[in-house]
């Protein structure tokens, strides 16, 4: 038995710990700080951030997820907001800033309720009820249908996604490229459309201008032909995709071949050459005049190929091989003996061109390319990188719109509509959760507020005007903030359209993260993970050698 009054020590002395309301407030403060960092980038009038790393590398961007991935975040709650942005980016490709500032605003409103002694569990339950109702209302009352053949609407959706990025006057052209690219690679199954962004290859080369960006109805490979004597242009190409080395196999272990007779040495060299020649003969026999090889090709084999007028590229990336197979209809083969004419793919033209200061190979004129490429050009590396981010957003939003077949207007119009809907819905919720539903409604208004603020407008006046425009029988669901004229206007007429999934995903992930942060009431420093035994500095191996990886 312990003597009475003897303290029982559970946590090690000096363990960092924060609990109760202090822990919640600490987490909320961290999340709000992250949300505020990206808040000014929202909308067409949003500002850019310049991110400079310790090596002096610079990234200039307006893209929420890029900013949050690049900045060094220490606080555990702040890291959760970075995850929100990443999830939003993976699911929709756009709306990352919206998702993050919505999470921050939900926590801000929750903080006000905590000050009024509303329990975190009550708040989280109310937030979940509100999110469910908001998503239901979005899909049933606010969203409208978009058909796959409606190219104009798809273009508007792409332009809206790129509006906040610094791609300037080339938006129209980039939107057109994005729509064509996505429509070329979508697949239909049981009447449902599926889209994989991996089937669109984006290559970037600085030089030229944004206007020179082009769509290639096939695959663009950032490599040149493997031998200078090979043709630079092949018309009516018959393409073989080979996933094995066109080289003489060396022994698994160190192999020593002893040749005593000099004449035998020449025989040995000739036999190696003949073996390679036979490999090239097999390719020629199949009717192929273009070879893309994932592994290496021996110089001797390249010499024979060049002699036969076969165009070849070696050491191809696996992802490029898959794209080529989809675009040209070729089958990737692993054994040369199996190569037949039926395995070959076709393309109208294969051409090696000099782009900027390097050579690239264009595989174009594929009959039904289920994989396409986009070549991005621009003045500087930073411009090209930002165009790539914009195009990626545009491609993803078109893809999710086609998959769901639903879109909403932008400019803060759905958020205001949902805020009004939730205010009407709140009295139907019994108990203190009603307060959380009202808080959720107020939090949604952060989107139009930030849009107005970033455009240098009076956010309070804009918000009042927006509520009035949405209220009553004459109210319009599509009224939003026109940041260019500084007034409240109809977003449908201004062609500001977004996929419904951008909004639903933002509400989902913002609510889930806010709920998770609110449920934490204790922050305890966990023990450091022990290094493996014998593995400390100087440990592991005799002579103080570091342990082998």
In whole angstroms, give the CA distance from residue 119 to residue 110: 10
Beta-bridge partners for 372: 200
Indicate if 504 belongs to the active site: no
In whole angstroms, give the CA distance from residue 47 to residue 343: 52
| Residue 451 near residue 137 (C-beta atoms within 8 A) | no
Structure tokens at 39: 């808040």
Going by the DSSP 8-state scheme, the letter that residue 412 receives in this structure is T
Indicate if 393 belongs to the active site: yes
Indicate if 222 belongs to the active site: no
Helix, strand and coil percent figures for the chain, each rounded to 5: 50, 20, 35
- Catalytic site residue from 89, 343, 393, 482: 393
Which residue spans within 97-174 are E strands per DSSP?
144-145
Q: Please, what's the b/e burial string for 330-363 (b: 16 or more CB within 10 A of its CB; e: otherwise)?
A: bebbeebeebeeebbbebeebbbeebeeeebbbb
Q: Are strands 332-333 and 233-242 parallel, antiparallel or unpaired?
A: parallel
- Catalytic site residue from 97, 103, 361, 401: 97
Total Cβ atoms within 10 A of residue 56: 6
- Catalytic site residue from 40, 61, 63, 298: 63
In whole angstroms, give the CA distance from residue 225 to residue 95: 41
| Residue 203 near residue 217 (C-beta atoms within 8 A) | no
Q: Are strands 290-293 and 406-409 parallel, antiparallel or unpaired?
A: unpaired
Total Cβ atoms within 10 A of residue 105: 25
Indicate if 97 belongs to the active site: yes
Structure tokens at 341: 């004419």
- Catalytic site residue from 41, 66, 87, 96: 96
Structure tokens at 228: 């200078």
Distance of CA 337 to the CA centre of its chain: 40
Residues with a catalytic annotation lie at: 63, 96-97, 393
């Amino acid at each position: 038995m312990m003597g009475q009054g003897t303290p029982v020590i559970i946590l090690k002395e000096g363990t960092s710990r924060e609990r109760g309301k202090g822990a919640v407030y600490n987490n909320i403060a961290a999340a709000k700080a992250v949300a505020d960092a990206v808040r000014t980038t929202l909308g067409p009038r949003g500002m850019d951030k310049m991110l400079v790393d310790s090596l002096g590398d610079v990234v200039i961007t307006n893209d929420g997820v890029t900013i949050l991935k690049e900045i060094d975040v220490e606080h555990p709650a702040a890291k959760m907001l970075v995850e929100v942005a990443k999830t939003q980016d993976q699911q929709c490709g756009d709306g990352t800033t919206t998702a993050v500032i919505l999470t921050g605003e939900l926590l801000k409103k929750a903080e006000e309720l905590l000050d009024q002694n509303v329990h975190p569990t009550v708040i989280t339950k109310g937030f979940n009820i509100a999110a469910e109702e908001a998503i239901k209302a979005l899909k049933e009352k606010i969203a409208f249908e978009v058909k796959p053949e409606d190219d104009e609407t798809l273009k508007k959706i792409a332009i809206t996604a790129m509006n906040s990025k610094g791609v300037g006057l080339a938006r129209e052209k980039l939107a057109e490229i994005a729509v064509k690219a996505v429509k070329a690679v979508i697949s239909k199954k049981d009447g449902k459309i599926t889209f994989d962004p991996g089937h669109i290859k984006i290559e970037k080369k600085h030089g030229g201008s944004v206007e020179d960006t082009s769509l290639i109805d096939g695959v663009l490979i950032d490599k040149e032909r493997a031998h200078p004597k090979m043709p630079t242009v092949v018309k009516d190409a018959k393409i073989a995709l080979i996933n094995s080395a066109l080289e003489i196999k060396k022994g698994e272990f160190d192999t020593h071949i002893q040749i005593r007779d000099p004449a035998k040495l020449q025989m040995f060299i000739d036999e190696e050459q003949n073996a390679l020649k036979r490999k090239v003969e097999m390719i020629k026999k199949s009717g192929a005049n273009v070879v893309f090889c994932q592994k290496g090709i021996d110089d001797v084999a390249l010499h024979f190929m060049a002699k036969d007028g076969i165009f070849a590229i070696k050491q191809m990336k696996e992802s490029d091989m898959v794209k080529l197979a989809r675009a040209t209809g070729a089958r990737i083969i692993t054994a040369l003996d199996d190569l037949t004419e039926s395995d070959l793919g076709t393309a109208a033209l294969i051409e090696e061109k000099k782009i900027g200061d390097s050579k690239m190979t264009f595989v174009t004129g594929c009959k039904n390319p289920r994989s396409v490429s986009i070549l991005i050009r621009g003045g500087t590396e930073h411009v090209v990188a930002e165009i790539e981010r914009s195009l990626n957003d545009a491609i993803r939003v078109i893809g999710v719109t086609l998959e769901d077949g639903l879109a909403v207007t932008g400019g803060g119009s759905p958020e205001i509509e949902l805020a009004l809907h939730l205010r009407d819905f709140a009295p139907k919720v019994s108990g203190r959760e009603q307060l959380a539903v009202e808080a959720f409604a107020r939090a949604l208004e952060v989107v139009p507020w930030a849009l107005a603020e970033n455009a240098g407008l009076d956010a309070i006046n804009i918000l009042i005007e927006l509520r009035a425009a949405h209220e009553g029988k004459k109210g319009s669901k599509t009224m939003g903030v026109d940041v260019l004229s500084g007034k409240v206007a109809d977003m449908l007429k201004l062609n500001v359209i977004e996929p419904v999934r951008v909004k639903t995903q933002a509400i989902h992930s913002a609510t889930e993260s806010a709920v998770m942060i609110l449920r934490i009431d204790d922050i305890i420093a966990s023990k450091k993970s022990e290094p493996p035994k014998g593995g400390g500095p100087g440990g592991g191996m005799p002579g103080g050698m570091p342990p082998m990886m």
